Structure 1
Amino acid sequence: MLHRFVRMSFQEDKIEDFKEMFTTIQSTIEAFEGCHSVILLQDKDGVNKFMTFSIWDDEEALNNYRGSDFFKQTWVKTKKMFNDKPEAFSMYKP
């Protein structure tokens, strides 16, 4: 299983917009082949800092999702809300 983490920081006036968007798209992401789950986490100290944590069968499943029209359209909308560059990394559980 591949564990994917994406750290994001948002403009303060866009926080609620992003949270609402994530709630709307979460089930669509989880319906992609190879996705086991995706959750949104909010930093305990930085109200505008978030992380998504998703679990995938493997890197191929993640890349298929990232290559989808759905992801591309969603990412364009999400990027407009950032106030800093996002960080993404993938890990395997040993």
Structure 2
Amino acid sequence: MFVRIVKMGFHEEHVGLFLDNFKKVKLDIRNFPGNRFLELYRDKADPTLFFTYSYWETEADLETYRKSALFCDTWAVTKPLFKQKAEAWSVDKLVSLP
């Protein structure tokens, strides 16, 4: 399993649109085959900056999601709202303490 972190910065006037769309698709993303966890974070200092953390069973699962209609439709709504290019990292979790 690995973690996918995505950083997204939105134009202030588009934050509500992003949050509305995320609310609509979050369960579909979370229930996509291979997805084991999904969280959305908002930066405390910059309310237009968001991060998603998702856990995936395999890199192939993430790639299948990224080629899916769900991702393409979600990204088509999300991408035009950006004030800056999104950044993404795939990382291995080394330690987790409850």
Q: Normalising to structure 2: TM-score of the pair?
A: 0.92
* SS of residue in 1 equivalent to 2:4: strand
Equivalences for 1:24-63 in 2 at 5 Å?
A: 24-63=24-63
Deviation at 1:8, TM superposition (A): 0.4
For 2:71, the equivalent position in structure 1 comes to: 71
Measured after TM superposition, the shift of residue 69 of structure 1 is 1.1
Runs (5+) with no aligned partner, structure 1:
none
Distance in 2, matches of 1:72 and 1:93, equals: 27
Question: Residues of 1 paired with 2:49 and 2:93: CA distance?
Answer: 25
Shift of 1:93: 1.6
Question: Structure 1-normalised TM-score?
Answer: 0.96
Counterpart residue identity of residue 49, structure 2? K
1:17 Cα deviation after fit = 1.0
Residue aligning to 1:23: 23
Matched length: 94
Q: What's the CA shift for 1:37?
A: 1.5
Equivalent position of 2:89 in the other structure: 89
How far apart in 1 are the matches of 2:72 and 2:38?
17
**What code does the residue aligned with 2:13 have?**
D
CA RMSD of aligned residues (A): 0.7
Tell me by how many angstroms 1:28 deviates: 0.2
- Structure 2: stretches of 5+ with no match in the other structure: none
Identity of aligned residues (%): 36
Give how far 1:36 is off.
0.6
